[in-house]
Amino acid sequence: MFGVFCSVWGLLGVALPLAATEHPGQAQLVTEVAADTGKDPAGLNRLLSAAQRRQSILDAISRPAEGKPWSRYRPIFLTPKRIHDGVVFYRQHRRLLEDLGQRYGVDPAYVVAILGVETAYGANTGSYKVLDALVTLGLYYPPRAVFFRSQLKTLLELPPNQLAGPLDQLTGSYAGAQGWGQFMPDSIRQYGVDADGDGRIDLLHSIPDIVASVANYLHGHGWQPGQPVVVPALAQSGATALQAKDARPRWSVQQLEAWGYAPTRAVDPAAMATVVHLAGEPEASCWLGFQNFYVITTYNRSPLYAMAVHQLAMAIQAGSTALDQAQ
């Protein structure tokens, strides 16, 4: 009798009341997380089964990002409002920023600029459920499944005091990045800091935690305090074409000059740099990017992103200095 009932439900395509969604690969993931953390598999299954595969997330990640020339990318981030809000934020939290900048050996204007480019200083931290985002990309998006499944696993493993709220209520970007600095779960685990000492890492509500975590991230990726980020260069016609898979500084300035890339400002000839070409309208531009430029690209590998962060940091610094002098 029961069996007949079941098959009727099955034929009608109606879910049995107690049947939960099981995503592909869920059982294996739960087994791994439970083994690593001792968490209850039933609780993990409940969390995952309540998460939804979202087509909007798959659509968002499939759109080409940062395909714009610099001349059209720059105005998105270097707006008067974003500069103004950055100056206000910098001055409002100056003591904290300068103390943490000192502690982590990073220039705090760059921390503020990253918060500005990522989320307009916390205004747009994202409205996708983080669990939906990471289930969708980790379990239903083969091209990036290795990366996103690992982020999903980390999210499930993070202790509750490293999250800004209950795991099933966290929101973020379509890629599952959270908080003012848009940290992925691995970055929360590796670089998250409880700077206000309340026993939690809260990258959504605690300004000290947010600032310290971004500063710690930059420090951890090799920021060199007081060193240049990027300088404009002139590429001579016939300059040696250089290929590199990322913005890591690979050549000395002296070597780059010999190959036809002349910095337009005095820089240490022994400093290591890479050449950054930005497509423009109408003209392309050429730059020498140093270690600190590379560090910003570890946050987002697009050179356009790193340049936007650099120029916003410069504008915030200039705006703040101008106000100091007016006082």
CB of 30 to Ca ion, least distance (A): 29
> Is 311 a residue that touches Ca ion (CB under 5 A)?
no
Whether cis (ω within 30° of 0) applies to the bond prior to 282 is yes
> Is 136 a residue that touches Ca ion (CB under 5 A)?
no
CA distances from 88 to 98, 110, 114, 313, 320 (A): 15, 15, 15, 13, 8
Is 118 a residue of the active site?
A: yes
CB of 15 to Ca ion, least distance (A): 41
Residue of 320, 322, 231 lying closest to 274 (CA atoms): 231
> Is 193 a residue that touches Ca ion (CB under 5 A)?
no
Measured in degrees and rounded to the nearest 5, phi and psi for residue 33 equal -65, -40
Interface segment toward Ca ion; rule CB under 5 A; list 3-11, 181-189, 197-205, 266-274 = 197-205
CB of 45 to Ca ion, least distance (A): 30
> Is 196 a residue that touches Ca ion (CB under 5 A)?
yes
CB nearer to Ca ion: pick between 45 and 206: 206
User: Are 201 and 162 within 8 A, CB to CB?
Assistant: yes
> Is 198 a residue that touches Ca ion (CB under 5 A)?
yes
**Token digits of residue 286:** 């050429």
CB nearer to Ca ion: pick between 157 and 196: 196
- Written as one string, the DSSP assignment of 255-304 is HHHHTTEEESS---TTSEEEEEEE--SS--EEEEE-HHHHHHHTTS--HH
Per-residue contact string for residues 204-243; x = within reach of Ca ion by CB under 5 A:
--x--x----------------------------------
Among 99, 157, 194, 268, binds Ca ion (CB under 5 A): 194
Interface segment toward Ca ion; rule CB under 5 A; list 60-68, 181-189, 200-208, 302-310 = 200-208
Task: Kindly name the residue from 98, 118, 157, 257 that is annotated as catalytic.
Answer: 118
> Is 168 a residue that touches Ca ion (CB under 5 A)?
no
**Single-letter residue type at 153:** K
CB of 213 to Ca ion, least distance (A): 10
CB nearer to Ca ion: pick between 85 and 202: 202
Using CB positions, name the residue nearest to Ca ion. 194
Going by their DSSP bridges, the two strands 285-289 and 230-235 should be labelled as antiparallel
CB nearer to Ca ion: pick between 186 and 196: 196
Q: Count of alpha carbons within 13 Å of 171, Cβ hemisphere only?
A: 7
Q: Is 109 exposed, middle or buried (0-12, 13-18, 19+ CB in 10 A)?
A: buried
Q: Which residues pair with 263 in a beta bridge?
A: 233
> Is 66 a residue that touches Ca ion (CB under 5 A)?
no
CB nearer to Ca ion: pick between 192 and 289: 192
CB nearer to Ca ion: pick between 217 and 290: 217
User: Are 210 and 180 within 8 A, CB to CB?
Assistant: yes
Cβ neighbors of 163 (< 8 A, separation 6 or more) are 170, 188, 201
> Is 200 a residue that touches Ca ion (CB under 5 A)?
yes
Binding region for Ca ion (CB under 5 A): 194, 196, 198, 200, 206, 209
Indicate which residues carry an active-site annotation. Answer: 118
